[in-house]
Amino acid sequence: MRVIVSDKDQPVLDRQLGAFSAVDKTDANDFIERLDEMHALDVFRAYKKFTFDLMNIASGARVADVGCGTGEDVSSLADLVGPSGQAIGLDLSSAMIAEAQKRHADKGNVSFLQASSEGLGLPDNELDAIRADRVLIHVQNPEATLAEFIRVTRPGGRIVLSEPDMHGFWVASDDYGTTRLLVNEIANSCVMPYLPRDLWTMMRDHGLKDVRCSIQTLTSSDIKAVSKVLDLSLVVKMAVSGGLVSEERAAKWGDDLKVRAENDRFAAALSIVVVSGTKA
Ligand SMILES: C[S@@+](CC[C@H](N)C(=O)[O-])C[C@H]1O[C@@H](n2cnc3c(N)ncnc32)[C@H](O)[C@@H]1O
């Protein structure tokens, strides 16, 4: 299991991707802004809709979104369950729960709770469906989290997980050596960067039925969105200050991306591993 360290085992700055594991110890506004940036992207909306479909939500259902962040997906789930249903958002971060409440509490069929994914505080067999989106790579014990998701789901209920394969992120570049170093920095800031590759097996090991795995690929030609979501300028700064890459090489790498963007030749992609299963 990885803790939050860089390849050189130096603590990372608190705004890197991996700090989503402890948002309350950081400037939460920075993370809220980055989540808003992601939610505004069509490619994010598309794979999220795919995960909602996998939940098999009927009108009147009781569903949960764990690691709900600002609660945008809880609001979408509330629309799907309708007025007689209930959509519950849970998050470890009190700042995220406060923001979600501020944005969505006026909907009568949503509620938000501060809780860890490993101990949701819900009764056994309570939910028709549960999901977590881009959360388990930030969690210390994903096995305990999945066991908890199964506990709170009724027999026949659905469990859907979607996690980004951060080590598989790519961006077109003239210098793939530097790209690889920087992608490693970003991925290794997460507690469990390789977890997405084990989720399919993990679900079967936990006795779930109808287990399916698919890859949703997010592509982008928008350098601004990608830089913001991954906080690329900070990552480059850290890689330079940590001695991973020289200032000159980092500047050349960044200039290449800028020139590509100016000439409509910027290209990046990220795979989201989506797994789903039914409680026996
Ligand atoms: C990358 S954000 C994703 C937020 C949301 N799912 C979305 O798609 O916008 C990760 C979220 O997981 C939360 N989180 C991290 N570790 C958690 C844990 N152990 N239990 C519950 N939530 C956690 C963070 O506070 C953050 O809101």
Q: Which helix (H) or strand (E) holds 270?
A: strand 268-278
Tally of structural domains, the chain: 1
| Average pLDDT score over residue span 151-164 | 98
Work out the burial of residue 22: count CB atoms within 10 Å of its CB; fewer than 13 is exposed, 13-18 middle, 19 or more buried. middle
Q: Is the pLDDT of residue 12 over 60?
A: no
CB 66 within 8 A of CB 43: no
Nearest protein CA to atom 10 of ligand 1, as residue: 135
Confidence bin at 121 (pLDDT 50/70/90): very high
Q: How far is CA 9 from CA 23, 32, 58, 244, in A?
A: 21, 27, 47, 12
In a domain, 11, yes or no: no
Distance from the alpha carbon of residue 224 to the mean position of ligand 1, in angstroms: 23
Q: Specify the amino acid at residue 274.
A: V
CB 66 within 8 A of CB 130: yes
User: What residues contact 144, with CB distance under 8 A and at least 6 apart?
Assistant: 118
Range of the structural domain that residue 254 is part of: 17-278
Residue 1 lies in a domain: no
Q: Give residue 15's pLDDT.
A: 61
The verdict on residue 261 lying in a domain is yes
Q: Which of 91, 122, 195 most suits a substitution to test ligand 1, by most atoms within 8 Å of the C-beta?
A: 91
Q: Over the chain, what is the mean pLDDT?
A: 93
pLDDT digits (tens, 9 = 90+) for 18-61: 788 889 888 889 889 989 999 999 999 999 999 999 999 999 99
Question: The tokens of 102 are what?
Answer: 């501020």
pLDDT category at 10 given cuts 50, 70, 90 is: very low
What is d(CA 114, CA 105) in angstroms, rounded to the nearest whole number?
Answer: 14
Asked if pLDDT for residue 9 goes beyond 50, the answer is no
Q: Domain for residue 52, yes or no?
A: yes
What pLDDT was estimated at residue 8? 39
The answer to whether position 198 is within a domain reads yes
How confident is the model over 82-95, as a mean pLDDT? Answer: 97
Residues with Cβ within 8 Å of 251's Cβ and at least 6 positions away in sequence, in order, are none
pTM above 0.75, yes or no: yes
Contact 232, 225 (CB under 8 A): no
> Is 122 part of a structural domain of the chain?
yes
Atom of ligand 1 nearest to the CA of 139: 19
Q: Could you read off the pLDDT of 223-261 as tens digits, one per residue?
A: 999 998 898 988 998 899 889 999 999 999 999 999 999
- What is the average pLDDT across 76-99? 98
CATH number, domain of 44, equals 3.40.50.150
Is residue 5 in some structural domain?
A: no
**Which two structure tokens, joined as six digits, stand for 148?**
């908890």
Please report whether residue 255 resides in a domain.
Answer: yes
Give the pocket of ligand 1 (CB within 6 Å). Answer: 20-21, 23, 35, 66-69, 73, 91-93, 96, 116-117, 133-135, 138-139
